[in-house]
Structure 1
């Protein structure tokens, strides 16, 4: 029975995993000579695997210590240690440095103050020089005016002497020829024979003549009056002119008015003989022409 069962069992075909391997039978004699030599050559051993190199580089040899070349020769002896400064000495040095800085600041401030003083002195000297120049110019102008006035006064005195001599000669020649009618002649009654209208016109003519020869200084206000005493000869020749003490003009204004009177001579005379006076008092009014 056992043999019958074993005999009757069917064998299941075996299957290997993977692809099917096919093989061809080749007669060695049919191969070529190179192929037979390759098949006869012993098989080569497979190459041994290369060991994996460690990432850490192998230790390098330590270089031999050699003395370095120095640009200066080595010191024969060791350098002495640097002394540590004393605290008191350090404080003294700092105090001296502070004192030096303060002295420098004081010196700089002194220099600046001297420069300021020098500039102030230069400006003051320039102002004083300008003032002296103006005073000198004024003195020169005043001197010139006085010289002209003295010259005019001398000329007036000379003319007055000549007129007096002529008048004395005329008086002597006509003394004996005087008639009663001449001695009886008298000015018209009222105001001592003076025409007020004529006197006003005479004063206006004098004012106009003086204004034409006068340049008003800036220090004299318009409309301000100044009383002038004028001594003159018949014909309008001026002997001298002098402002009254009550004249409100300054020194320059007073001298300019006196000079204008001298320049205006001969003063108006023709037509004003009736109101002519050798010593004349005129209220001059400051005006611009």
Structure 2
């Protein structure tokens, strides 16, 4: 174990050592201040100590030779060259306190070149605007396509509806034509049956009259009050009566007005055509009514009138009374 004396000695040694360090530091500071170099204005001049006589131009000039050389004398002993005087030691230069290295001036960071950034920003903006413009054009084009498609669909629907109405109208017209045709056929069959019955009666009557003509030559005969008692006259009268029975009188035709009509027929009384003569005073409705009556009256009277049958027949139709 250390004694108290050892501790005191150690403490004194430590204090002495620290005090010595402080004195050395103070002396160094004083020496640095007192030997500071003198600063004089102007450029510093450097001098070099030159000891070579040749460099200074002090080499002795050679003497001119003697007129008569003397014989050489023995050279005296040359004394040993004396040692050069000691060079003075250069005074130690005062040590300057080392100045702490100054930090190098911080160069400002290079300013970034914003031209590329601005160019890139403008390019990006142009690309965005171009993309937006293309999108708008594409949207408008699509809207135009949709509008055109809607218009086409609407026109197609209207066309189909128009065709449907036309088809329905045609169907109605065809149905009406079929109905009229069927009605006309029924009417024609009925008229034909009626005419056949009438023809049979007329034929029977004619035969009976032919058989009884000599005995009943003075009896009155049905006619129009004329004087034509020939078979042709009776044939024309039968056709006149058949047409009158099938004629539907228009309100514009007065009774007794004559109208000439031309008939083309074949044996048996079937009518090929019936046309009113242009001289007929009837209006269009009256003319069509007479032609329709002739067609409805077919077959025209034929039995019993074979000898006076005419393929082309012209007769004068007169509107009956009432």
TM-score category (smaller protein): 0.3 to 0.5
Q: TM-score scaled to structure 2, two decimals?
A: 0.34
Select the structure with the greater relative contact order (CA < 8 A; seq sep ≥ 6).
Answer: 1
